[in-house]
A and B are shown apart, each in its own frame.
Chain A
Amino acid sequence: MKKEIIKFILNGEQVEVYVDPAKSLLHLLRNDFGLTGSKEGCGQGECGACTVLLDDLAVNSCLIPAGKVSGCSVVTIEALSRDGKPDFVQESFVEKGAVQCGFCSPGMIMSAHALLKQNPRPDAMEVRTAISGNLCRCTGYKQIEEAILLSAEKLNK
């Protein structure tokens, strides 16, 4: 286990960490930075609960080796609320009742942000496709879909 210094931008701030580059980004975020908002549902890239933004793209952080984020920008769920106030996607999730157990919510919300960055006016099918890598066992996805469509409406107001 050879450690390296890795420099990247985490939630808008330049950070530097001395770590095994093979460690997953998810474990780096959770264990080294204490950012436990990203969840581990499978550790194999199948559930999407660990979704973060890597240079604005939604990725399963459990599949990204820490060494690969060198020089990149990583955004996690913790960065969304400003001054303790949830952002418009988070608010939409609550408004639409899109949250039950909540374990998938951070990953879903990050996938929603990635979608809205690329496509600020998605239709229902585009929303469903964007979150098709994020599993939810509680909600049946309907209220999540509605929440993301509502987020898009707010964005375009």
Chain B
Amino acid sequence: MPIITENITREKKTETDFQSPEVWTKVTGKAVYGNDFKLPGMLYGKILRSPHPHARIKKINLGSVEAMPGVYASLTGAELPERPYGIVFDDELPLAAELVRYIGDEVAAVAAVDNETASKAVEAINVDYEMLPAVFSPREALKPDAPQLHEKFKDNLAWERNLLRGDSDKAFREADVIVENTFTIPSVHSTYLEPTVCVAADDPYNGLIIHTAVQSPDAVRVIIAKALELPLSKVRIVGPVMGGGFGGRVYGNLKLYMIASLLAIKTGRPVKMQLTREEEFLVGRPMIAAEMHLKMGFKNDGTILAREADIVTDNGAYSAQAPWVSKTLSERNDSVYHIPNIKTRVRLAYTNKVPTGQYRAYGNQAANFATESLLDMGAVKLGIDPLKLRLKNCVKTGDTTVHGLKIKSCALAECLKAAAEEIGWYDRKKGYGYGISAAIHASGSLVFDKNFRGAAALARLELDGRISIFSGEQDYGQGAHATFTLIASRVLGISPEMITVYSRDTLSSPHSIGALGNRQTTIGGKAVQMAAKRLRELIVLTAADMLEDPVVMEKGTLRSASDRIVELPLVAYHYHSLTCGLSLIGEGRYVPEPSEYDETGYGNIAVTYSFAAHGAVVEVDKTTGAITVHKIVAAHDSGKIINQISAIGQVFGGTTQGLGMSCYEGYLFNKGEVANASLADYRIPTSLDVPDITPIFIENEDPEGPYGAKGLGEIVQIPVLGAVANAVADAAGVRVTDLPITAEKVYQALSGWECE
């Protein structure tokens, strides 16, 4: 049954509206974020960065920096063992040893008594560089005579994939209608509002503790322990409250953490390091840029026969997750529709630019812009209504897609129809442009570690009858803690107010892969469900032992067959005394079926899949090219919604981010230098830019997810791009194939005028 929420002002809260009590600390200014956190004797660190896109460090002249008043230590790459680290490839060092590969590369660092002193000290360091030729375009970088960035990666080719399904050459020969085009997507930054910050502290008892808010603390801890050769059990991440992540902070800023740690070890004092907003744009790991040449073949009746793609993605100077993002970008979209024949070549190229990472929908949103634009071009050529074309080809429950994804629950057709209906697709008004777009996204990705696919959680009964949940999955504003609380509350039959979720200390929470691949609700939430179930069993057993009679648990009360009653605190005390100090702890684990994919990547890669269709209504001023987005309808199949208030918030927020990517955002480079490294120049949507957004949830129960739920946090961003692009093309009569779609570009397309 669909929930259509046009206005979120509701008279009554539903039982699925819950927020973590932490929200009260946020509105009163009491929540402690990274930069609010201090330790006694704490120093402040600053980094000297390369001003050149590609150069050899001949000499670093520290001069008298360490003798400056207030300066405690300096650090250069020369002091460190040359031990590269990375996420997919080991291609980075904490500080440059010999080469700098982009403007912003970390060269030296200083710890001082305050930020001002540290900045002055860093400025006093003199570096002698030998300039090297640099390359900024990924296509240029792949040519054999291009300047080389990494010895290990010939022709700057970081990663390549050639994917064949069926016989696309034959399919294109048989196609009645073929469309092709090139689409370009710039690098975009997650632009979490809180700049990345950490406080590293080291002592012989605690070992290294890094106080930082990061989406995947356990993964960070493992990488840092290995890179700095520290015992894993002596590296601990403790999280303050996190000011947004959106996938951009899956691994936080590893270099910042490592440099702060090395300075803390060297000085014996805690060291705080925070990126400035400008540094965030330089080193904050934006999502890869992409150039996608796509070709699609159809039968006259609209049946999609084949898709070919030649994609080049821009890695920047170092790799992080770029190969994984390139993979998702190049293939996930193929599973929205039945496309029996696929031929894809994707190449990831190193360039002397900002190193990349990822943003929310992992490249799937960029691919949505390209694929859904091309699909509409096909619809025009075929003379078929774009909605009908999509409904004809979209996947459904029970399907196995061209790449082997097993679709266990799917309301994509219903999403398409609901979004179309709500934007007035069947009764289009003159002077407006209408666009529609569809998406699939992994819900609980299984591919990050074949041997570690699931999650674990602990549920502990406290002596006062409250429940503590320990999970390694992070809440950074998206509401994971509230979702977990509601799940545990449903299992245990007690009020959510009696439950607290703890996740921010790697010492007390189970190890987790972290907040990526839409894992939180589907995988993390299921582990919480299992832990709560186990705790419930243990409570019932213990109460039965106390009352020497079988018991049932109802609303947090245990009742024996002979109608004797015992409350939770007494059960907790009973077990506590019996065991001299132990607590009842439900250990929960969720271990999904192995995803058996072959060497071509064919196979099921996630626990389940979320679906969505967005519709957009826009107006284009044909004299100036100015675009006004009036309405976006976001219809989602994320299974059963666990927490309505936060689900709606995800849709509003993610759709707005998608709109930013569609119309406003993108890195601008000038010979490798970021030309818009500030919030004034890198424009994210403001309150005046947001159109009327209507969330719609088609609540289909998913057989895998906890209480039938699927992921929502990432997919909300995806179909916006295609819907807006198609609506603008519909209104303007011309198509912009280069993101962001700005008034200038529409004007250029309309007038044939080109600026220098």
Contact = CB atoms under 8 A, between A and B. Distances in A.
A44 B680 contact: yes
Contacts of B680: 44, 46
Given A36-B29, A38-B29, A102-B27, A97 B8 contact: yes
A132 B684 CA distance: 12
Contacts of B23: 94, 99, 102
Given A39-B194, A102-B477, A97 B29 contact: no
A142 B693 contact: yes
A100 B649 contact: yes
A122 interface: no
Interface string A117-157: 00000000001110111111111111111100010000000
Given A99-B23, A100-B653, A47 B477 contact: no
Nearest to A107: B193
A40 B652 contact: no
B687 interface: yes
B655 A140 contact: yes
A81 B28 contact: yes
B175 interface: no
A100 B33 contact: no
19 contacts: A40-B195, A41-B193, A46-B679, A93-B27, A101-B241, A103-B194, A105-B27, A106-B27, A129-B688, A132-B686, A135-B679, A135-B684, A137-B246, A137-B653, A137-B684, A138-B193, A140-B652, A140-B693, A141-B687
Q: Which of A49, A81, A86, A139 has the most CB of B within 10 A?
A: A139
B277 A101 contact: no
B244 A140 contact: no
A80 B680 CA distance: 30
Q: Which of A47, A138, A140 has the most CB of B within 10 A?
A: A140
Interface residues of B, number: 55
Contact of A97 (B33, B243, B649, B686): B649
Nearest to B477: A101
Q: Which of B8, B27, B242, B245 has the most CB of A within 10 A?
A: B27
Contacts of A100: 244, 477-479, 646, 649, 653
B477 A138 contact: yes
Contacts of A105: 26-27
B120 to A, nearest CB: 12
Q: Which of B23, B190, B648, B654 has the most CB of A within 10 A?
A: B23
Interface of B: 8-9, 17, 19, 23-33, 35-36, 190-195, 241-246, 276-277, 476-479, 645-646, 648-649, 652-657, 678-680, 684-688, 690, 693
B244 A137 contact: yes
Closest 8 CB pairs of A and B: A37-B29, A101-B477, A102-B26, A103-B243, A140-B656, A140-B652, A77-B29, A100-B477
Contacts of B479: 100
Contacts of B31: 102
Contact of A101 (B194, B684, B693): B194
Given A39-B194, A146-B8, A76 B29 contact: yes
B738 to A, nearest CB: 24
A156 to B, nearest CB: 16
Given A101-B193, A134-B687, A139-B649, A40 B35 contact: yes
Nearest to A1: B116
B193 A132 contact: no
Q: Which of A37, A96, A142, A150 has the most CB of B within 10 A?
A: A142
Interface of B is mostly: loop
A103 B277 CA distance: 14
Contacts of B242: 101
A37 B193 contact: no
A116 B32 CA distance: 28
Given A101-B241, A103-B243, A135-B684, 20 more contacts: A37-B29, A39-B33, A39-B35, A41-B195, A86-B24, A94-B19, A97-B17, A99-B26, A100-B646, A102-B25, A103-B194, A105-B27, A132-B686, A135-B679, A136-B193, A137-B246, A137-B657, A140-B654, A140-B655, A143-B8
A99 B646 CA distance: 9
A99 B25 CA distance: 11
Given A77-B29, A109-B27, A135 B686 contact: yes
B688 A103 contact: no
Contacts of B26: 99, 101-102, 105
Nearest to A111: B687
A43 interface: yes
B29 to A, nearest CB: 2
B31 to A, nearest CB: 6
Nearest to B241: A102
Contact of B8 (A93, A141, A142): A142
Contacts of A133: 686
B678 to A, nearest CB: 6
Contact of B194 (A38, A41, A139, A145): A41
Nearest to B13: A95
Nearest to B646: A97
Contacts of B243: 39, 41, 101-103
Contacts of B17: 97
A72 interface: no
A24 interface: no
Nearest to B192: A137
Contacts of A102: 23, 25-27, 31, 241, 243, 477
A44 B657 CA distance: 22
Nearest to B194: A103
Given A41-B194, A43-B277, A142-B652, A131 B27 contact: no
A34 B476 CA distance: 24
A95 B729 CA distance: 39
A78 interface: yes
B277 A44 contact: yes
Contact of A47 (B19, B30, B193, B656): B193
A42 interface: yes
A90 interface: yes
B652 A77 contact: no
A25 interface: no
A35 B685 CA distance: 29
A47 B283 CA distance: 19
Interface in A57-87: 76-78, 80-81, 86
A101 B476 contact: yes
Contacts of A104: 193
Contacts of A138: 193, 244, 477-478, 649, 653
Nearest to B246: A137
Given A36-B32, A102-B31, A47 B679 contact: yes
